[in-house]
Chains A and B, each alone.
Chain A
Amino acid sequence: MPQRPIPKPTPETAEFWAGARRHELRIQRCRACGRAYFFPRPFCPRCSSHDVEWFTASGRGRLYSYVINHRPPPGFQDAAPYVIAVVELDEGPRMMSNVVGVEPSPERLPADLPLEVAWEQLSEEITVPLWRPLGGGS
């Protein structure tokens, strides 16, 4: 398992990381325009409304784009090659992550491959969302 750099939450991201620790994908939604968004901030990036709420996303998404990294940074040597992906959540927002549980080859990673969230604990405080093919995939 890679030795991942461990993030340190800030006031506006604390709820995301607290949710991740409970294996809940907590993101935000604007109550004025109705749109979900990520990364966390205390107002809507589209309409500037500060009337926003946290909710638990479905944990379903699709593979938007990616690379297969063959030149890993320190801590990731044993994991390479691995998939660095941008995942589009069913709720709309995108986030970077890794796609795991599938052979890291272009043939196995078609556009819009359905994904579901998985979790990896890095420390007592920090757990990160990873993604795997929906239903176990290949």
Chain B
Amino acid sequence: MSLRMSAAIVGAAETDTVGVIPDKSALQLHAEAAFNALADAGLTKDDVDGVLCAGQSPVAVAEYLGITPTFVDGTGVGGCSFMLHVRHAAAAIKAGLCSVALITHGESGRSRVGMGAWARSPQMLMAQFEEPYGVAGPPTRFTIPIVRHMRAFGTTEEQIASVAVATRRWAERNPRAMMREPITVEDVLASRLIAWPVHLLECCLVTDGGGALVVVSAERAKDFPKKPVYVLGTGESTEHSMISMMHDMTESRAFKVSGDLAFREAKIDRKDVDHAMFYDAFAHTPMFALEDLGFVAKGESGPFFAEMRTAPGGDFPLNTNGGGLSYTHTGMYGMFAIQESVRQLRGEAAAQLDDVRVSIAHGVGGMFHAAGTLLLTNDDGA
């Protein structure tokens, strides 16, 4: 079953603000984003029959909003879950399981209001085989592959730092971005060493916020107020639950499988992509995406970023909202990557590009644990 051009995003919105929101619970952020996205689509909650979310249970979100769904999906594979939700919503709509799918994200990542605890059983695999060695969250696990990439391809610390610099240049143009002061490669390398080779400015932000999407069949897409954003291609995959089990630390197997699925379904080439959102949990994550999705050959991402080709004015505009590094990162950032793809395709972005016809939103889940890829377009093919 191909999902190509079968569904469209007709509602998309974030919470009123993103950043530091200590007076709202995670569930409240889901609801605020949901109401904003429904208003964007000219719908109410009574029109919704499909509920998809991560972080909170879809049972809790449906109850909170007062929805009795005929389709639910609580796929929670980390920050890329929402890419998978769009894919699953399109499939459910095509199969007749629902007609209006609401995908929500809300996370009090910074203020930790209404969030679950971090506690982990000492019997979990990660507790048996990683935690005894002094890992301290994603900065010491997600980052371990970098040195292998450096040693294999000569990737340098300056090249990795340049990812953060290019991303910040986009954030300078986005009034909603948390970090907007210009930075240089020297600033990045002079920022606090977290876990060599990673510095503070190469790590994503930790914020509060949310976002939501409304997905319907492509046939109905023109009946809504905003320009439809069509689902052109989709992919998903997983690889490991512990970073130490990654098959080859110079590439993400999940990225490759997910990306190939999306491009095959979309029937387009890499050169047809006008705008890209690659989940940037750390500066190296978009480097892996650039290579593993086939935009450059293996080992070529370092020089590509160092030449500022992804920055404003470059030939590969990437993470144009300022990314997880400088815009916002609630914990599961993938929703915000999709939101920016939708804005660019509608012509509503803060740093709007000219002539965007195809955008890619590619997410990572956990620490290279999972991946989801969406190719989106505003071109109905007519």
A interface residues, Cβ below 8 angstroms from B: 2, 4-10, 13, 39, 64-73, 75-76, 79, 81-82, 84-86, 94-98, 106, 110-111, 122, 128
Residue B184 lies at the interface, judged by CB distance under 8 Å to chain A: no
**Listed residue (A8, A70, A76, A106) with the most chain B CB atoms within 10 angstroms of its CB:** A70
In the bound complex, residues from chain A placing their C-beta under 8 Å from that of B135 are 69, 73, 84, 96
CB < 8 Å neighbour of B134 from A73, A95, A111: A73
Contacts A69-B140, A76-B136 supplied; 14 other A-B pairs, CB < 8 Å: A7-B129, A65-B145, A66-B144, A70-B192, A71-B194, A72-B134, A84-B195, A86-B244, A94-B244, A95-B244, A96-B133, A96-B244, A106-B197, A110-B151
In the bound complex, residues from chain A placing their C-beta under 8 Å from that of B242 are 39, 96
B interface residues, Cβ below 8 angstroms from A: 121-123, 125, 127-137, 139-141, 143-148, 151-152, 192-198, 242-245, 249
In the bound complex, residues from chain A placing their C-beta under 8 Å from that of B133 are 4, 84, 96-98, 128
In the complex, the answer to whether A96 meets B134 with C-beta atoms within 8 Å is: no
In the bound complex, residues from chain B placing their C-beta under 8 Å from that of A8 are 121-123, 127-128
Q: Given the known A-B contacts A7-B122, A7-B127, A111-B151, are A69 and B134 also in contact in the complex, defined by CB atoms under 8 Å?
A: yes
Q: Given the known A-B contacts A67-B196, A69-B195, are A86 and B128 also in contact in the complex, defined by CB atoms under 8 Å?
A: no
Closest beta carbon of chain A to B244's beta carbon, Å: 4
Q: Given the known A-B contacts A73-B134, A86-B244, are A39 and B249 also in contact in the complex, defined by CB atoms under 8 Å?
A: no
Distance in angstroms between the alpha carbons of A13 and B128 in the assembled complex: 9
Instruction: Identify the closest chain B residue to A76 (Cβ).
Output: B134
**Listed residue (B127, B134, B139, B197) with the most chain A CB atoms within 10 angstroms of its CB:** B134
Q: Given the known A-B contacts A5-B122, A8-B122, A72-B134, are A64 and B245 also in contact in the complex, defined by CB atoms under 8 Å?
A: no
Q: Given the known A-B contacts A67-B198, A69-B134, A71-B195, are A10 and B123 also in contact in the complex, defined by CB atoms under 8 Å?
A: yes
In the complex, the answer to whether A96 meets B249 with C-beta atoms within 8 Å is: no
Distance in angstroms between the alpha carbons of A5 and B121 in the assembled complex: 11
Distance in angstroms between the alpha carbons of A6 and B131 in the assembled complex: 8
CB < 8 Å neighbour of B144 from A67, A73, A82: A67
In the complex, the answer to whether B144 meets A86 with C-beta atoms within 8 Å is: yes
In the complex, the answer to whether B132 meets A122 with C-beta atoms within 8 Å is: yes
Closest beta carbon of chain B to A36's beta carbon, Å: 14
A-B contact list, 9 entries, CB within 8 Å: A5-B131, A7-B128, A67-B196, A69-B134, A71-B139, A71-B194, A73-B135, A84-B140, A86-B249
In the complex, the answer to whether B195 meets A67 with C-beta atoms within 8 Å is: yes
Distance in angstroms between the alpha carbons of A111 and B250 in the assembled complex: 13
In the bound complex, residues from chain A placing their C-beta under 8 Å from that of B197 are 67, 106
Distance in angstroms between the alpha carbons of A116 and B127 in the assembled complex: 23
In the bound complex, residues from chain B placing their C-beta under 8 Å from that of A9 are 123, 128
In the bound complex, residues from chain A placing their C-beta under 8 Å from that of B196 are 67-68, 70, 81, 106
In the complex, the answer to whether A64 meets B148 with C-beta atoms within 8 Å is: yes
Closest beta carbon of chain A to B298's beta carbon, Å: 16
In the bound complex, residues from chain A placing their C-beta under 8 Å from that of B148 are 64-65, 111
Q: Given the known A-B contacts A7-B127, A96-B129, are A71 and B136 also in contact in the complex, defined by CB atoms under 8 Å?
A: yes
In the complex, the answer to whether A65 meets B249 with C-beta atoms within 8 Å is: yes
